[in-house]
């Protein structure tokens, strides 16, 4: 990685940490971009060099996470049933940026803020676009067939299970692990005959 890239990543990380501290202390809607810029020691213009919106500070890494899941899915054995491969790919990608208490506070903020919730759904739709081609390949589907909805349905359902698990984890104050809640949601809708997630 070049010096420029390392510097950019360091500044991006510093702005994110500063903004998240303000969001979790004051609230997302109560924190302005000007306040984030001032606390981070940058101009408002510089903020927009790194983030398109205030919501992207909280959710911007979801696209990178989607790419990690895509790579994990492609690395699953070819003989693995698509539903199981999707679930295992999701299990293999862990968010280690924050501890559980901070993650819980972030989840509460996302689920309680309409603009963040909408942005989260938008990012998950981008995940669907990333993951569907590999599932279509595993199903032997014709990529040019607009009426074969199997892959889209499988990916959308797995992402919905993750979202449902996140909401339950937030409501329950993290008393049950997010992974266990995802497994419970996935088990409730697992296609007949598919193998259990190990």
Under a CB-based contact definition with an 8 Å cutoff, are residues 181 and 165 in contact? yes
Domain coordinates in residue numbering, the chain: 3-57, 61-189
Residue that wins the pLDDT comparison between 157 and 4: 157
Selection from 198, 13, 9 nearest residue 87 by Cα: 198
So what's the pLDDT on residue 198?
39
The CATH class that applies to domain 3-57 reads mainly alpha
Q: Which CATH architecture has domain 61-189?
A: Orthogonal Bundle (1.10)
So what's the pLDDT on residue 193?
57
Flag whether pLDDT at 197 surpasses 50. Answer: no
């Amino acid at each position: 990685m070049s010096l420029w890239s390392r510097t950019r990543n360091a500044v991006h990380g510093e702005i994110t940490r500063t903004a998240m501290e303000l969001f979790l202390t004051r609230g997302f809607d109560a924190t302005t971009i000007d306040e984030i810029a001032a606390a981070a020691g940058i101009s408002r213009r510089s903020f927009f060099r790194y983030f398109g919106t205030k919501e992207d500070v909280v959710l911007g890494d979801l696209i990178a996470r989607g790419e990690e899941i895509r790579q994990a899915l492609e690395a699953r054995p070819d003989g693995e049933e698509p539903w199981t491969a999707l679930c295992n790919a999701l299990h293999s990608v862990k968010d280690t940026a924050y501890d559980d208490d901070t993650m819980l506070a972030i989840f509460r903020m996302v689920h309680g803020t309409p603009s963040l919730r909408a942005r989260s759904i938008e990012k998950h739709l981008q995940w669907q676009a990333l993951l569907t081609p590999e599932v279509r390949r595993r199903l032997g589907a014709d990529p040019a067939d607009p009426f074969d909805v199997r892959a889209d349905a499988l990916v959308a359902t797995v992402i919905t299970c993750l979202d449902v698990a996140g909401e339950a984890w937030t409501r329950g104050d993290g008393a049950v692990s997010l992974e266990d809640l995802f497994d419970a949601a996935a088990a409730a809708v697992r296609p007949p005959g598919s193998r259990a997630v190990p």
